[in-house]
Amino acid sequence: MKKRVAAVCGAATMVAGMLAAAPAAAAPTLSVQHAALTWKDCGTKNYPKLQCSSVRVPLDHDRPGGEQITLALSRVRHTAKTSQGPLLVNPGGPGGSGLTLAGFVAHELPKSVAARYDVVGFDPRGVGKSKPALNCRPKHFATVRPPSVPSTPAIERADLDRARAFAKACTTKYADVLPYFDTVSTVRDMDEIRAALGAPQLNYFGYSYGTYLGAVYAKLYPQRVRRLVLDSIVDPGGVWYDDNLGQDHAFNARHQAFLAWVARHDATYKLGKDPARVEAEWYAMRDAVQKKPAGRTVGAAELEDTFLPGGYFNGYWPYLAEAFAAYVKDKDPAPLVAAYKKLGAVDASGDNGYSVYTAVQCRDARWPRNWNQWRDDNWQAAEKAPFSTWNNAWYNAPCAFWPTSPLDPPDVSNDDLPPVLLFQATDDGATPYEGGVAVHRELHGSSLVVERGGENHGISLSGNACVDRYLADYLRTGKVPRGGGEADATCKKRPDPKPLTKKGAAGPPPSRGVRLHGLMGFRG
C-alpha cells in the first residue's frame, strides 16, 4: 500500500506543479459534461428558501473518465426578473461546510441585492454531505487529552503519539484518495460547479480559507471571474507552516485583549483591574485544570480550545468571562464545562472537518518532516505567545508524518481580473492583517476595505454597517472604492461587547455575528 501511495502522489505532484506554473491563458478545461441539476427543497426554520442538489466531479481532474465523487450543493434562487448569475460562497476551513452559509448570505444581504443572485453553497470534497466524507480517526479530540505545552518528555511523547496515530489512521482508511485533497483540486471542483450551473462566469464570496480558494480560482480561471469578494484574507506567502506560526502571535494578542476587557469590567467579574493580574489568574486556572480537569472533562488542552473562539470573535467574550470568573471566584466548574461543550468540543462533524483540514493542508505545501524543527520553532514562538502556540502546533502536527508528498502552492499574483473587493480587520487573529495587504498587492486592481481596530475574523455581514455598504454596492454595481495608500477605504470597528445582563446565560445571545461565526467555525 505504501508503494502505491508513493506512486500516485508523485504523479499528482507533477500535475499540480504544471498547474501552478501554467500561465493564466492555459487554465484547465472542464473534466466532464454536466446534466442539468435537479433541485429539491431543503429549507430550515431560519432559511426556508434553501434548495439542495449535488454534482458529480472527477476525483482526479486529469482523469475525467475515472472515479467520480459527489459534491453537495445548496442555493437560494434569485427572485428578480434578471439575474447576475450564481454567487458561490465558502465559509473557510479547509473542511468547512457551506450549505447553510448560502441561506445566511441570501438572508443578510439587502433584499434588492440578494434578489439578483442565485446564492450557492457547497460542501467541498470530503466535507459534510459530499461523498466520500472523510473521518480519519473518530473521537480524536475525546477528553481529556494530554496537555498542549510539552513541559516534560512524557507529555511531548503523548502528543506526538496522537499526531502519528491520526496520520496513520488517515493512511489506512483513505490512502487511495488523499493525493486528491488539496486546494487546486477544490478550485477545479468550483469550476465544475460553475459549469453545472450553466454560468459562463462565477461570482464568488469567501471567508478565511475561502479567500485562498478565491485567489487560486482567479489565478486558474481569470476569464471566468465576474465578481470576487474575499473577507479575512489568508497570506498566500505563508501556506501553511509559516501562516500557523504567525497565527500564534496574533491569537496571543487577541487573548491579551480579552484579558484587558475582563480587567475593565472588574465590577462584574472581580478578577482584578490590572490585566497582568487577570492573565496570571487565567494561567493559574490552566495549571489547575491540568492537574484536576474541570468536571472530569476540561483539562489544559480543552481549556485552550474553549477560549480560542474568543480570538476569532469578541462576541464570545462575555460568555467566556462568566465561565472564567465562576471557576476562579466561585470554585464552580460547571460554567466552564458548559462553555467547552458550546465552543470547544468536537463532534462528528468536527471530526470530519478536521480530517479534511489535515488532508488539504498537509498536501498543499511543504511541512518540516524533522520534529526538531517544530520543537524549536514552537518553543521560540511560545516565549512571546504562550496562549495557543502549542495547541496550534499539535493541531497541525499530523503534517509532520503525512503520507502524501507535498505540492508547491500556486502563485496567486494576477493582472487579469475585473475589480476585486477585499475586507480585512487590522487585529484579526486567524488571518493577520499582513495577509490582506499582501493579497491586495498580488491582485492588481483590487480594492482593500479595512476595519480599523477591528478584532474579529469575518467582518462583512457581521453587523458593521459601513463594511456591509461596500459589500452591497459592489455586488449591486461591480464598483469598488479607490483611495491612496495601503487601504482604499476604512471603517470604524464595532463597539466592544458588554458583560451579560443575566448571569449564567446558556450562551452568547443570538446576533448576526454569532450566526456567522457559528457557520465559519474555528481554525480557519
Catalytic residues: 208, 428, 457
Q: Give the number of C-alpha atoms closer than 13 A to the C-alpha of residue 515, restricted to the C-beta side.
A: 17
Taking the CB of residue 108, how many other CB atoms lie within 10 A of it? 17
DSSP conformation letters of 248-261:
HHHHHHHHHHHHHH
Taking the CB of residue 464, how many other CB atoms lie within 10 A of it? 23
The enclosing H or E element of 54 equals strand 51-58
* C-alpha cell, 133: 466524507
Q: What is the DSSP letter of 238?
A: G
* C-alpha cell, 275: 490585566
What three-state secondary structure class fits 470? helix
> Is the previous residue joined to 120 through a cis bond, with omega within 30 degrees of 0?
no
Strand segments (E) across 373-474: 421-425, 447-452
Q: Give the number of C-alpha atoms closer than 13 A to the C-alpha of residue 68, restricted to the C-beta side.
A: 13
Q: What are phi and psi of 281, to 5 degrees?
A: -65, -40
What three-state secondary structure class fits 88? strand
Residue 48 neighbours by CB under 8 Å, 6+ apart: none
In terms of Cα–Cα distance, which of 327, 11, 308, 27 is closest to 194?
Answer: 27
In terms of Cα–Cα distance, which of 43, 116, 35, 111 is closest to 75?
Answer: 43
The enclosing H or E element of 9 equals helix 2-21
In terms of Cα–Cα distance, which of 415, 300, 14, 417 is closest to 179?
Answer: 14
Q: What is the DSSP letter of 152?
A: S
**From CA 312, how far away is CA 456, in angstroms rounded?**
5
